[in-house]
Structure 1
């Protein structure tokens, strides 16, 4: 029995060491592309027949408990890259991500997770069609909310951080899903893979963004699309208008200790990252291998003379190029990771910044929030502890055998 156990463990470790895309019947992708609704996912499938592009139509795997609308994982023939659509909004994104983590057919321990979706953009930072890569996502929906018309006269917004008594308060009640921080070094490495010359633009988008040119602060919004480093906010509420945009910009600044820069809106980023933190605690994923990519389909506030309602309903002229650029960015990144797997990505891109959630459950000292809960050490769950020890033992035996040879 002991021999069978040790042999099985040795074979399992050799599969990990070989980074085989399919090992012992398990799908072991190098890259997992996450999209959130049909158009974002379909662009990858449609573009699969483009010369030189990754073909996500080659393999299909049904993921138990995934969205009934999007039940299948789509992969390349070698399963090096896979594509999953979660469904829109936080509940859908969390549930599908957890379904992926729980699927026994998948080995995700070395997988890079690349979240790619569209969102609104702040014209003081980005423009229509822009590609953004984030280090932070902030859950701005976690607030006390009152109608601004009934707020105290001294308040400049109806949003107040939970557990506090004023909009400018930093921390009150903490649920541990307010902020997530990902690997900045990985973000920088992946950014170089997105060719700015390939970022799509359109005449309609150019004409619309020209309306922002008369405001000096909105010069980025009037410019052609480019690739940016800036951060996303997560909320299921679609908001528009200068007041709410400034409110959430201040929240990002407060909750990241001035390190984050708000530029895009999203419904799902924090939801996926919350699930991935739990996956990391169970040794199912490596949270240092997560990237957040958003492309801009519309602006979060109107141009001078435009109503907020018109901006909300008629301001989505950047939608076609934002969808196109979801694929431009995501597919370029996936190909880049696969192409440099042995040289760069198999061993990982070491983070130079804190990576994790508000409480520091993965270890380290958060550079935002009220402080860690585990003294800088990761929270180790009982099952994960045993699994980690098995992997360490297998690695030690392998290193020793190589040295002896």
Structure 2
């Protein structure tokens, strides 16, 4: 195996209908060889000519962790030199980018391992009710070393290489997405046509939304990355995926330094000015405004990296690009 494409969901069939995260890769990369995978959420699909394997993990960190671990321990596959491309849609912070934009992560931060107090009982001087497990509250500035899986640092040289390679890729866009962008007055990055950037991922099993939660997400990523990370995309799986790949690396079954995380915005993480969070979230739940554009742009950006890895395989098999 040379490349593993990690997607999280498919909408309907694996081909021929409305595309979820997996379908575009299956069709365009000719992942036609079906490999039964009863220990996971979804069967695997493979192209023996290119060496690309596609997996659909299922939504959420529990499913992603179990699926990736099951794949890595499967004796049918040798993944020691494989590159892993997590390619999925995400919420995107309008302070940093627009829907349809694609962000390469340098950090994957977990948003679930925490203490929580209900919003109706938060002390008046607290910014929110979420705080680290070994702290006394969100205002406790004590420095602490992550040891429960709070943050995973990806290979920064590989992430930078992927960004440099794709920063000028022409991305998909359309009038409907432009109309959504136009509502974000006062957010210049949110009003830009889709673009490629570097920005970090926060994964949580809760689909959160709103200005206050967005502030928490930015603070949380800064806290766990020691101020080095910048929250850009929200999703549900990366901490599970990365934890499994960490363990597989320890077992000599994978190489976590060959993992890339690419997320494209399908919706904003907070509402446009003049709209409350509950109404905004209800509207997005009718169908993410940037879903189609985001899925297309994941393929356009991710494919450039895959093509380069495969074209240089005699070299990239042995040495990670930087």
Relative to the length of structure 1, the TM-score reads 0.73
| Alignment root-mean-square deviation, CA | 1.7
Classify the secondary structure of the residue corresponding to 2:70: helix
Say yes or no: does 1:306 pair with 2:275: yes
What is the distance in 2 between the residues matched to 1:161 and 1:176?
Answer: 10
Unaligned 5+ segments in structure 2 are: 11-19
Classify the secondary structure of the residue corresponding to 2:161: helix
Partner of 1:335: 307
Say yes or no: does 1:279 pair with 2:253: no
What is the distance in 2 between the residues matched to 1:172 and 1:191?
Answer: 31
Say yes or no: does 1:66 pair with 2:40: yes
Partner of 2:213: 244
Classify the secondary structure of the residue corresponding to 2:201: strand
Say yes or no: does 1:86 pair with 2:80: no
In structure 2, relative to structure 1, the CA distance for the partners of 1:350 and 1:318 (3 Å cut) is closer
What is the distance in 1 between the residues matched to 2:106 and 2:122?
Answer: 33
- How far residue 196 of structure 1 moved from its aligned partner, in angstroms, is 3.7
Partner of 1:383: none
| Contact 2:169–2:196 (CA under 8 A) maintained in structure 1 | no
- How far residue 176 of structure 1 moved from its aligned partner, in angstroms, is 2.6
Write out per-residue CA displacement over residues 315-355 of structure 1, whole angstroms, 9 at most, x where no aligned residue: 42111101112222223322221012224x1222277xxxx
What is the distance in 1 between the residues matched to 2:38 and 2:166?
Answer: 33
**Is the helix fraction higher in 1 or 2?**
1
| Contact 1:119–1:294 (CA under 8 A) maintained in structure 2 | yes
Q: Which has the higher contact order (CA 8 A, sep 6+)?
A: 2
Partner of 1:376: none
Write out per-residue CA displacement over residues 115-158 of structure 1, whole angstroms, 9 at most, x where no aligned residue: 00000000010101001000001112211111122111111101
Superposed, 1:317-356 pairs within 5 Å as 317-343=289-315, 345-349=316-320
Count the aligned residue pairs: 309
What is the distance in 1 between the residues matched to 2:297 and 2:201?
Answer: 17
Partner of 1:205: 177
Unaligned 5+ segments in structure 1 are: 1-28, 49-53, 352-405
Classify the secondary structure of the residue corresponding to 2:97: coil
| Contact 1:289–1:348 (CA under 8 A) maintained in structure 2 | no
Write out per-residue CA displacement over residues 248-300 of structure 1, whole angstroms, 9 at most, x where no aligned residue: 10111111111000000010011100000000000111111010100000000
Write out per-residue CA displacement over residues 375-397 of structure 1, whole angstroms, 9 at most, x where no aligned residue: xxxxxxxxxxxxxxxxxxxxxxx
